[in-house]
Structure 1
Amino acid sequence: MSITELSQAIGVRASTLRFWEKVGLVAPDRVATPSGTSRRYSVTAIREARITAALRAGGYRIPDVHKAITAIRDLDDVSDSLTALDARLRSIAERTLALLRTGPLLAEIIESSPAS
């Protein structure tokens, strides 16, 4: 995407995208053109711009957005995180089933207890 296309797509001014580039939030590619160079936004740069726009719209300051973008860029291999997440989901599912299995037993105990 060009800077104009991206600015229209995410609802910010082109000057805002240039500022975000200057402070390291977005990293467009530079391509040679007959009149010099222009910015071209790859899928990664578009994703970073969309995240930045969303965070800024949510009231996050530039330093906080920069931390978030840096963290996203550092996520080279997320396989360990996905494995941990899968284990956590399995644990939750097992506990949920255990609770459901004890439901009838608890109901029986409550129903058979003498009324006060």
Structure 2
Amino acid sequence: MSSDRPVRVVVQHDTVDRDAVRAVTNLLRALPGARVRLVLHGPAVLASRADITELDDLPPGAEVVACRTALTGRGIDPSDLRPEVELVPSGVAEVVQLQHDGWSYLRL
């Protein structure tokens, strides 16, 4: 792809599995220099816990955010999260805002 604008992709994920890791890895491999932001909400926030291995193979440069509303609803304390996970008030609002800001959208 040739463009002066950097590629920015928001990946929405709401289940606990490794599909998101594969998709993010493939995106970053195919689009070097892209920003890829994985938004975990619903049951997928379980993967943001430090003791869960689903995100272990995420490549460097991948951004991961977790929905605070989903964490609270599942009784997960923010102190139990992986260190690379950023909290956002609402996962779906994060997706909407990024799309509004011009990010490409991928739902898994």
Mark yes or no: TM-score above 0.5: no
**TM-score, length of structure 1 as denominator length:** 0.20
Give 1 or 2: higher strand fraction: 2
Higher RCO (CA-CA < 8 Å; seq separation 6+): 2
**TM-score, length of structure 2 as denominator length:** 0.21
